[in-house]
Amino acid sequence: MGEDPPNPSPEEKSILFKPMIDRRSFLKGMAGVFGVSLVGVGKGYSNTDKNEILLERVPVTIPNLPAAFRGFKIAQLSDLHSSPLVSIDHLQASANLAARENPDLVVLTGDFIGHKIRTFLAKYHEFDRQYVDNIVEAFSVLKPPHGIFAVLGNHDFWSGPEATQYITDTFSKGLGVNWLRNRRVELQRGSDRIQLIGVDDLWEKTFSLRKAYQNVDPERTRILLSHNPEVNEEFQWNSGLSAELILSGHTHGGQVVLPFIGPPFLPGIRNKKFIGGLVEEEGRQTYITRGVGHLVVPLRLNCPPEVTLIELI
C-alpha cells in the first residue's frame, strides 16, 4: 500500500478550485456586450461621459475600529482602463471628484489599462505607455496625507510583464504610489494603527493570500485591497484569515445593465452577490465599485462610472 497523498496546502487548493478565466473566455463574453452595445450606441444611450461620473459616499461601520480612525476617508478609484476609449479628461474628472473630498487615503484597485483584443473589425487596448502616463498626469492632484496604495488587476497582468513593470515604476515615481503585492502595511494616527493589505489579482499564479497575511495581527482592523471581489471564496482555504473590509472593483457593475434583466455579461464572476455595492460575507464587508472607465465599447448602460468615498465609522 502506498502512502496517502499529502493534503493540499491552502495555496494549492486555491489554484485547484478558484474560478479561472482566460483571455479567450473573456472575449467570448465580450461578444455579448458588443451586440447589446451596438443597439445602445445606436439609440444614443451611454453613461460614459465624464460629467456622468458619480461620487458614491459609502459609510462603513467597523466594530474594532480604533478611535483615531473614526471618520477616516478613503477615496477608491478602480478600473480606469486608460485607452483611446477613456481619455485623460475622463481620468482628470475622476481625480478631481476624489481630490475635492480631501481624502485621508487613496486606493487604486487595478485594471489601469485594457489588454490587447483583436476582432475582425479592429484592435482594442493595445498597450501604449501614453495611457499610463495619462493616469499619472491626471492623478497628480491627489496628495492624501496617508498616501496612495494600489494593487494590479487582471487586465494589467494580461498586458504582459513589460506593461505591469511600466505601470508599477511609473506610478511609484510619478505619484508616489505604494504597491501592495501580497503584503501589508500599517497606517498610524496618533498611537492608533490599522492594517492595509493587498493581493495580486486572484486569477494570477502570483496571487497569495497567505503571503499577504504573513504579519497581519487578527486583533487589529484589516482592510484588504483585492481587484476581484471573489477573493472572498479564498478565505475557505485559509482558515484564521479574514478582513473587516475588502475594497474591490473588476465587475464594472456589469457595465451594461438591462432593465428588468440586469447585466448580460459579468467577467468571470460566479456569485452575482459580488456585482456591486456593499455586501457582507461571513463577517467580511466587501465594497465593489463600478469603476471609472469602461472596456471595448464606449458604453455604460444604467451603470454610470464611479468614484468611491469610503468613510470608516
Query: Site residues (CB under 5 A) for Fe ion?
Result: 79, 111
Nearer to Fe ion, 155 or 184 (CB): 155
Residue nearest to Fe ion (CB): 111
The least distance separating Fe ion from the CB of residue 69, rounded to whole angstroms, comes to 29
- Smallest CA-to-CA distance from 290 within 245, 246, 232, 249 is with 249
The overall longest dimension of the chain from CA atoms, in Å, is 70
Is 162 within 8 Å of 188 (Cβ atoms)?
Answer: no
Nearer to Fe ion, 14 or 78 (CB): 78
Other CB atoms within 10 Å distance of the CB of residue 161: 8
Is 94 within 8 Å of 290 (Cβ atoms)?
Answer: no
The least distance separating Fe ion from the CB of residue 295, rounded to whole angstroms, comes to 6
The least distance separating Fe ion from the CB of residue 250, rounded to whole angstroms, comes to 6
Separation between Cα atoms, residue 138 and residue 130, nearest integer Å:
12
Nearer to Fe ion, 201 or 244 (CB): 201
The least distance separating Fe ion from the CB of residue 27, rounded to whole angstroms, comes to 14
Separation between Cα atoms, residue 42 and residue 30, nearest integer Å:
18
Separation between Cα atoms, residue 158 and residue 23, nearest integer Å:
8
Is 299 within 8 Å of 260 (Cβ atoms)?
Answer: no
C-alpha cell at 186: 500599517
Is 310 within 8 Å of 73 (Cβ atoms)?
Answer: yes
Separation between Cα atoms, residue 272 and residue 99, nearest integer Å:
32
Nearer to Fe ion, 100 or 270 (CB): 270
Is 203 within 8 Å of 154 (Cβ atoms)?
Answer: yes
The least distance separating Fe ion from the CB of residue 19, rounded to whole angstroms, comes to 16
Spatial CB neighbours of 91, under 8 Å, sequence gap ≥ 6: 80, 82, 134, 135, 138, 139, 292, 293
Separation between Cα atoms, residue 151 and residue 36, nearest integer Å:
31
Nearer to Fe ion, 11 or 52 (CB): 52
Which residue(s) pair with 277 in the sheet? Answer: 288
Nearer to Fe ion, 21 or 68 (CB): 21
Nearer to Fe ion, 125 or 184 (CB): 125
Task: Give the H or E element holding residue 91.
Answer: helix 88-100
Nearer to Fe ion, 111 or 201 (CB): 111
Spatial CB neighbours of 283, under 8 Å, sequence gap ≥ 6: 242
Nearer to Fe ion, 79 or 306 (CB): 79
